[in-house]
Structure 1
Amino acid sequence: MTHNIQQLKKLYKTKGIEITGVTKLVGGNPKIAAVLVANGIEILADSRIENIKKMIKSGIKAQYLLLRTPSLSQVEEVVTYADISLNSELKILKELSKYALIHQTIHKVILMVELGDLREGIMPVDIDNTVKEVLELKGIDFIGIGSNLACYGGVNPDVNKMNELSSIAIHLENKFKIRLTIVSGGNSANYNWFKSSKNTGRINNLRIGESMFLGREALCRKVIPNLFTDAFTLVVEIIETKIKPSKPYGKIYQNANGKIRKIKDKGVMNRGILAIGRQDVAISGIIPKQNISILGASSDHIMIDNTKSNLNVADTVEFSLNYKALLRVLNSSYITKNIIY
């Protein structure tokens, strides 16, 4: 992980881009957050204020950015614990101003601009009016703009999108006679744009999580050269092994996942059960390192074909994980996180 952080910082710095370290994937784990800070990450970003509070209370010294637009019910906590927040709603911004004045502090905000992915963001046609109102809010320091792509709609943060964001930044600076200190172009999905662009314009920040932790860009999930992809391994214990039929027998209705499964009869097989299930991990996102195959899963169990490996009860199966699976695993309270230095 340390190697990945250092390599990414060095890479993006070649074109004047700073990295904000995203900790939501690791559930704001303070030990992992400490590794980011120790390797020069100055801003830690998380979508949950609870994770930010956890890192602060563990003594992690950094600037904290709330990634998700604040909930109205959490505005006071956001002002108290987060130095910066991403925003797209004036109603929320006015409440942030109110509580910043109550707590006699200055809260920094980045306005998110909608560039087509259709998650959070102010429509470009509305950005001028929004900025005008934000600049009048007391207790609020408008420090930048940002965009989010490739998360909901899968829209590519390509040169056209980044040029559009740069143009909006320049327009706002000229119109309102301000200087935006942060123009945040996106996330780990911006790697291909970065590599292919000679001129990154006004983009000077990316919010990086997946590339640091999994060594991949987030657009096509290709490995980034010279990065480790195996920083995390899921280790699961076997709780049953039996010779059983391969096809369920009896009258078939919906299973625990609400599906009526059609399972091919492959005769009897050595079946195993793992002590983990859908509430802990995204089953489609784990790849076994041993010679077993996943047959299916319920909320607390994964069933495997153990015929080739012939593993026994109390043996363990190791898995590599993609982003979706790792997010679920690291935020499950039922899974022990064993951090190796």
Structure 2
Amino acid sequence: MGYPKISINLDKLEENVKKIIDKLQRNNLNVMGITKAFACEKEIVQLFKNNGINMVGDSRILNLKKIEDFDIEKVLIRIPMISSVEDVVKYSTISLNSELKTIEALNEAGKKQNKIHGIILMVELGDLREGFLPEELEEVALKISKLDYIKIRGIGTNFSCIGGIIPDINKINQLTQLTETIEKKLNMKMEIVSGGNSSSYHLIGEVPLKRINNIRMGEGILLGRETAFGENIEGCHEDSFILQGEIVEIKNKKTVPYGKKGMDAFGKKPEFKDRGIRKRAILAIGKQDFDCDSLYPLDKGAEIIGASSDHLVVDISDSDKEYEIGDIMEFQMGYGALLRGMTSIYIDKEFKKKKAK
């Protein structure tokens, strides 16, 4: 197994799952474990299932195909494309939806496969990503209820993805009111009321969540961090996933590029502060592999300077370590780095777990 590599500590990840599941269950909530950041790696999905997560959500059908044989509820969390409705019905039991035309296409796919497909009606409550407008939801739900191969499993909303809108008691009240309105209109009880993602975690136990009974969690579980304010979740690990990269060059160089200046490899014009001559290490990882803006060296004396497609430049002048060519540097990852790294074909993944006694 070579480098770059992501080392995955399954013991720490399991502790995160248990901690979060315990808090949710004490507040009458279920969790939808979001798997897209690790591309539905079977070993992690099994860990989820072993520890009480009975519903997983992913944005790619290709990922859900990997776990076709898993006895677990599978949810497509990206709004389905009409061109892929056959696979959506085949590989997911539920999908999140915000367009009637697409739901009608899912109904036709369900008819062909003789399979009823569940949907969660997404409603727009301010973040301005996906969702039916609140004023159209009642009429749309009535039309959907007449489709033979579609079952409305619930209602949901999204926060803190595009607009950075944080869920609060007003948003909870809105979602609760919409849920009860639809239930009355359709004369049915919503099985799933999904009140957002890891950015909703800070509300649990602090305010009444009313009809909300489901939270979609990816970053909260994987990196032990809620996403409304970026705070660590008490008792959870932020370092279940560690990037390891190999040093391929170490040299003392100027800190300001010299010569006629144009754009960098990504069409930007970076600015540099003159700090004299500094010792710099280059690692064989880059922006094709990671979101390098959310990489954080474990060596507190090291500082990331920048990255191109294939190389990461790190200032090691203030490090207490004497690095050599071929040495490995380790980095904690933010969600962007994790998402890109775990889905990259160029990155090895190593699962670590204490041996059973």
Same fold by TM (over 0.5)? yes
Q: 1:29 is matched with which residue?
A: 41
- Separation in structure 2 between the aligned mates of residue 329 and residue 103 of structure 1, nearest angstrom: 36
Deviations 1:23-69 (A, max 9, x none): 0111111111111011111111001111100222xx43211000011
Match for 2:269 among 237, 260, 266? 260
1:250, distance to aligned residue in structure 2 (A): 1.8
One-letter amino acid matched to 1:180? M
Matched, 1:281 2:293: no
1:8-87 correspondence runs (5 A): 8-56=20-68, 59-87=69-97
- Separation in structure 1 between the aligned mates of residue 149 and residue 269 of structure 2, nearest angstrom: 56
1:45-194 correspondence runs (5 A): 45-56=57-68, 59-194=69-204
1:279, distance to aligned residue in structure 2 (A): 1.4
One-letter amino acid matched to 1:300? D
- Separation in structure 1 between the aligned mates of residue 132 and residue 96 of structure 2, nearest angstrom: 11
SS at match of 1:260: coil
SS at match of 1:240: strand
SS at match of 1:3: helix
- Separation in structure 1 between the aligned mates of residue 104 and residue 164 of structure 2, nearest angstrom: 31
* Contact 1:287–1:319 (Cα < 8 Å) also in 2: yes
- Separation in structure 2 between the aligned mates of residue 127 and residue 116 of structure 1, nearest angstrom: 15
* Contact 2:159–2:165 (Cα < 8 Å) also in 1: yes
1:269, distance to aligned residue in structure 2 (A): 2.4
Q: 1:293 is matched with which residue?
A: 303
Q: 2:331 is matched with which residue?
A: 319
SS at match of 1:202: coil
1:95, distance to aligned residue in structure 2 (A): 0.6
Q: 1:339 is matched with which residue?
A: 351
Match for 2:246 among 237, 242, 252? 237
1:127, distance to aligned residue in structure 2 (A): 0.5
CA RMSD of aligned residues (A): 1.2
One-letter amino acid matched to 1:322? G
SS at match of 2:163: coil
Question: Which 5+ residue runs of structure 1 have no aligned equivalent?
Answer: none
1:175, distance to aligned residue in structure 2 (A): 2.1
Q: 2:4 is matched with which residue?
A: none
One-letter amino acid matched to 1:69? I
- Separation in structure 1 between the aligned mates of residue 266 and residue 193 of structure 2, nearest angstrom: 43
Match for 1:5 among 7, 14, 17? 17
1:195, distance to aligned residue in structure 2 (A): 2.9
* Contact 1:30–1:60 (Cα < 8 Å) also in 2: no
- Separation in structure 1 between the aligned mates of residue 311 and residue 337 of structure 2, nearest angstrom: 15
Match for 2:220 among 211, 215, 221? 211
1:243, distance to aligned residue in structure 2 (A): 2.4
Question: Which 5+ residue runs of structure 2 have no aligned equivalent?
Answer: 1-12
- Separation in structure 2 between the aligned mates of residue 66 and residue 261 of structure 1, nearest angstrom: 39
TM-score by length of 1: 0.96
- Separation in structure 2 between the aligned mates of residue 168 and residue 292 of structure 1, nearest angstrom: 51
The percentage of aligned residue pairs carrying the same residue is 39
Give the length in aligned residue pairs. 338
1:226, distance to aligned residue in structure 2 (A): 1.2
Higher relative contact order (CA 8 A, sep 6+): 2
1:219, distance to aligned residue in structure 2 (A): 0.4
* Contact 2:127–2:159 (Cα < 8 Å) also in 1: yes
1:331, distance to aligned residue in structure 2 (A): 1.3
